[in-house]
Structure 1
């Protein structure tokens, strides 16, 4: 069997749409009629009017001072924000109140008359029937009614920003042209007035706050200045220069203290040396240590006296004076050091105290200065804000007023008709394609061949006979009909299916019952007898045995009697004059039919029939119902597999053919039977089959 791929065949798709062209055309016409009915009779005409507002991103101020509420920047975020401001419920509420839209039935549903039938009423009725709980019917309040009107107005108002500009287009759509223009113009005016009111309120609030703040800052400034004055009155006046002078003085005192300490140390060392020399009682040592001119002269006089023990009193008295003077110098140095240290300590404490006072004073002065600056800033802002209260400018201006439209903007009748036609074409095409994709049966021989891989050797139309007994009469009375010619084509295809070994035993089967295989078997037998051939028709479906519905048969023996050996083949067959052939009917058997056809006697029966007849046609049961057909197929020369047009599913045919392939039997050809000519035209296949059918008489 041929394997299907996932590619879409555009030619087949176009062909499918072309075959369903009448259905598509009908859907398009119906859609256009419905669209025209809506556009011309049902749709309410509405009128659209637009006003444009320009955003002033840069404004010239009347006074060169900073505004409390600055102008808009003009970036995309600001533009989007302003669009939402125009569509805000607060602004629309002002519009509703100014135009008194609560009393307008177009926007207030409570003022409209109740329609005789509405979807809402039907839904409410269904809910009341389904619901088991009783609901309190709340009376709508004035606020809820106003909110509903605002919602309705919001649906009819649109605001858009013109690309690459600071211009907003305010568009209103209503059922009245004057109302549409009034909507757009009023909303634009309210938007600009809203900007002015917002700035005025902001300025007024800022003035009030600044007044209170300035009063508070004035009190703080006065308190800070009083603190500086009180501190100056209670503390010694200090300055940074005075502290610098004190630091210089204390440095000088420290230098003097160092020099005095050095001098004291030197004097103390000399005093110690003198005392050591005195302890030695050596005149020379004492004179050398004292290094005094007077003492040296006394020592010289004593040496010049020539006495062995000169008088030392003068020398000792002078040396004692020198020691005493050295002691006085040491004492005086100590006193100076103490005085200097005390003075340094006093000045250091004075520096510490005055530094703390200076820091405190500077802090108080800075606080007073800061309070003064803040006070002056807020005082200036208060004066600027007071000046701005009467000179505010809006951030937008009306660029063009909305005009009263001369014609309705909707419904656009030509557009509705065009869209209706397109929708109708799409709907019709969808139905055709859906029907085609959902189709699970066979309508064309090419499709049957492509899906099965077998050749279609016959196309047999449906026989216009209500009763099966009239089938043969139809073929006899109308030998030139399409059905008769289709059987002739089938006969030719079967006989030519194997040129080297023309088939003599032909089996007719199908997937399921009621596919027309029995009718085709009899028609094929009738056609072969018309050629002067000896034909035997065997009823191989011994389970149903429906030959009696086609012929008047005596209650006689048949196939089972021959197989049992009770009758010969010549004695068991029945000659049907209307058919021109011999018929071997089936009999009811207690033994399983598959076992009967698997027996050697059945094979011998067929061999005997081959010798006595030119052609043997066996009508077998459906292959999916019972295994009889596969068993009988082992003894035949050709297998004709019948598929009912637009009835047998793909799966059934595929499984039936596979059942033969599983037992190494190959079907000689397929027959698409019971073709409905009108159905072919309805499905769009009339172009190919209609001409074939019209060529013959019915």
Structure 2
């Protein structure tokens, strides 16, 4: 038979047989808390306050660890400080800036000097000066090998894996020295005091006298190093200048000798003589120009005379001769013989003048060429002489300059000054600089509180169980009918015996509070059939059912306790008496009546109707009409009927039985059942139109509540209950 179809039919049949009661109201609208990204600070504070014992514990542990470190493990160290001031002058006694000028005092210079103080070279000098290679604090090779250490363990593991390994050769003195230098550098801290030219040298070691000595020695070595650098620079400059002066002296002598030799092998050359030659050449060229002009005139006159002669025209010849010869020209009145003679004389004299002019021009041109050749040669000689002279003069200037610098540098070697001075020497400290006890304890306390708070918050925010009634109500939007603590007496029967023997105990009072909440859950129609269930097994619902039946029986009511879990049949673990009679299945099949099947329980004071094994599915049995008739019969015979049902997330029996119940009490195990399981279980009831009457926060551990900080929040097991309960 299909379980779900049977369940639907059972719902319709029940509405005909009985009036719907509290467990059959409108569908449950399960409301989940709206999640948001905001953090409730008040909730965080409350969580931290509840976890104050954990926070106090972690704080105490952190303080104890800090105390062990401060007083036992930590080695006290002492810090000594010396101060060095940087002189920012710009010059020295003798002004030779490239060699001995003071520091400028700008930030770059300060940073450079700071790095010099931190340099390995200066630290190496310090190590050699104080022989720190022989100090075990800096040379770990001088310490005795411990019987067990991380290094020996690593070596043993490597030996086990790789077999025997070659023994490493002993380190060289250079390696040991560099290791010590590195160790010493780690103990030294050099800093520049802000907005000043002062350097602070801090040295931290295990010996106060050693710290002061190292700080003072480093300051002295720094100043000596400055002087050494200057002495070395001056010496190098002197050597270089001396070598340079010797070379310049040789070059100067060679240049002056070249000038003398040149003057000796050349004619006397001077700018004035060269200028006279230039004027002579100019005058000669001017004369040549005049002669050339006269020659042109004479040649033109000769050409006219010859042309007229060839024309045989006496009048033309007389005219030309008159223009050229003047008084020497023939006249027309002369006889032909005299005229021709005079004309030829004039023409010959003109030819002679032309030849004379040409001869003069040629001689003057030759003279000009000779003068120009002299000018060219003397100009070249003069230029070469001037070059040799200038070279000699330049070499003399350079020689004199370097000679003066050599004399200045030689004089400077005796008047060098350092660019720094010791402003304050280190004093031997009397109080250790570390460990700083107050600071360590304060930090340990803060760290302990932070770790404790983180643990409390992490535990709280990762918790998916339920610890308070408020959390349960906020999760399900259902009322919490009761809060039942963990009942002493062992398990199962021992707990019921404890409740019977201790009627004024906290557990018994919690059961009575639950009984009262159930009775008044519906004032108009008080529930008569009460079923108890849970999400999963192990949430104490069976113990709660028996205890509730025992409590109702204490009111002199007729109580029937039905074992609705036909699969597990847990009642046999509570009731040790042998049960050979029938049970629930016998009544449903008609083999026995209800009166014949029930069993009287002296421990509980109620009638028991136990479950029996069956081959039929239990859900189908509870969905039958006969089970509804049985409940109707029980209503008529008993004041209260309590049904212990299986977990709702495991089997559908509880949802089937809920159709005939007046009240559905849902048990939730404290700090065990996950919220998702609770929500899923209630949604299972919602799917069949069942609304639980309320919930019970069950099996609450009082010690656990104190551990989580909830010790004073619940009435039945708070610190005030000691005045009312007798446990």
Tell me which interval the TM-score lies in, with the shorter structure as reference length. 0.7 to 0.9
Residues 27-106 of structure 1: matches in 2 within 5 Å? 27-58=58-89, 61-66=92-97, 68-106=99-137
CA contact (8 A) 1:471 1:550 kept: no
- 1:486: how far off? 2.0
Where does residue 383 of structure 1 map in the other structure? 407
How big is each residue's C-alpha offset from its partner over 1:455-475, in whole Å with a ceiling of 9 and x where there is no partner?
333211111131312333233
Q: 1:258 to 1:669 in 2, by over 3 A?
A: farther
Residues 327-346 of structure 1: matches in 2 within 5 Å? 327-346=351-370
Is 1:400 the equivalent of 2:428?
Answer: no
- Higher deviation after alignment, 505-514 or 258-267: 258-267
**Aligned pair partner of 1:365 in 365, 389, 395:** 389
- Helix, strand or coil: the match of 1:84? helix
- 1:23: how far off? 3.1
Is 1:21 the equivalent of 2:52?
Answer: yes
- 1:162: how far off? 2.2
Is 1:474 the equivalent of 2:498?
Answer: yes
CA contact (8 A) 2:227 2:416 kept: yes
Where does residue 202 of structure 1 map in the other structure? 233
- 1:210: how far off? 1.9
Where does residue 180 of structure 1 map in the other structure? 211
Residues 156-235 of structure 1: matches in 2 within 5 Å? 156-235=187-266
Q: State the TM-score, normalizing by the size of structure 2.
A: 0.84
Aligned length: 690
- 1:16: how far off? 2.6
- 1:680: how far off? 0.8
CA contact (8 A) 1:295 1:319 kept: no
Is 1:680 the equivalent of 2:710?
Answer: no
- Helix, strand or coil: the match of 1:640? strand
Where does residue 429 of structure 1 map in the other structure? 453
- Helix, strand or coil: the match of 2:333? helix
- Helix, strand or coil: the match of 1:390? coil
CA contact (8 A) 1:512 1:625 kept: yes
- Helix, strand or coil: the match of 1:490? helix
- Higher deviation after alignment, 657-666 or 72-81: 657-666
Q: 1:327 to 1:653 in 2, by over 3 A?
A: farther
Q: 1:232 to 1:589 in 2, by over 3 A?
A: farther
Where does residue 667 of structure 2 map in the other structure? 642
- 1:100: how far off? 2.9
Gaps of 5+ in 1: 303-310
Residues 408-419 of structure 1: matches in 2 within 5 Å? 408-419=432-443
Is 1:691 the equivalent of 2:719?
Answer: yes
CA contact (8 A) 1:192 1:397 kept: yes
Gaps of 5+ in 2: 1-31
- Helix, strand or coil: the match of 1:670? strand
Is 1:4 the equivalent of 2:35?
Answer: yes
Is 1:138 the equivalent of 2:166?
Answer: no
- Higher deviation after alignment, 289-298 or 477-486: 289-298
- Higher deviation after alignment, 389-398 or 660-669: 660-669
CA contact (8 A) 1:283 1:299 kept: no
Residues 626-665 of structure 1: matches in 2 within 5 Å? 626-633=651-658, 636-661=661-686, 665=690
1: CA distance, partners of 2:168 / 2:417: 50
- Higher deviation after alignment, 177-186 or 607-616: 607-616
Q: 1:481 to 1:282 in 2, by over 3 A?
A: same
Where does residue 448 of structure 1 map in the other structure? 472
Where does residue 21 of structure 2 map in the other structure? none
2: CA distance, partners of 1:81 / 1:298: 112
CA contact (8 A) 1:67 1:388 kept: no
CA contact (8 A) 2:281 2:368 kept: yes
CA contact (8 A) 1:295 1:315 kept: no
- 1:258: how far off? 4.4
Q: 1:72 to 1:659 in 2, by over 3 A?
A: farther
How big is each residue's C-alpha offset from its partner over 1:390-449, in whole Å with a ceiling of 9 and x where there is no partner?
211111112222223334434444444444433433343343334334433222222333
- Helix, strand or coil: the match of 1:687? coil
- 1:134: how far off? 1.5
How big is each residue's C-alpha offset from its partner over 1:342-375, in whole Å with a ceiling of 9 and x where there is no partner?
4444444444444443433333333333322222
Q: 1:442 to 1:348 in 2, by over 3 A?
A: farther
Q: 1:332 to 1:23 in 2, by over 3 A?
A: same
CA contact (8 A) 2:492 2:573 kept: yes
- Higher deviation after alignment, 398-407 or 630-639: 630-639
Where does residue 178 of structure 2 map in the other structure? 147
CA contact (8 A) 2:301 2:324 kept: no
How big is each residue's C-alpha offset from its partner over 1:452-498, in whole Å with a ceiling of 9 and x where there is no partner?
44433321111113131233323322232222222233233344445
By relative contact order (CA 8 Å, sep 6+), the higher-ranking structure is: 2
2: CA distance, partners of 1:501 / 1:661: 22
- 1:2: how far off? 0.3
CA contact (8 A) 2:92 2:102 kept: no
- Helix, strand or coil: the match of 2:488? coil
1: CA distance, partners of 2:696 / 2:311: 165
2: CA distance, partners of 1:129 / 1:157: 40
Q: 1:524 to 1:283 in 2, by over 3 A?
A: farther
- 1:679: how far off? 1.2
Q: CA RMSD in A?
A: 3.4
- Higher deviation after alignment, 7-16 or 257-266: 257-266
Residues 112-123 of structure 1: matches in 2 within 5 Å? 112-115=143-146, 117-123=148-154
2: CA distance, partners of 1:666 / 1:357: 132
2: CA distance, partners of 1:566 / 1:285: 194
- 1:514: how far off? 0.6
- 1:676: how far off? 0.5
Q: State the TM-score, normalizing by the size of structure 1.
A: 0.87
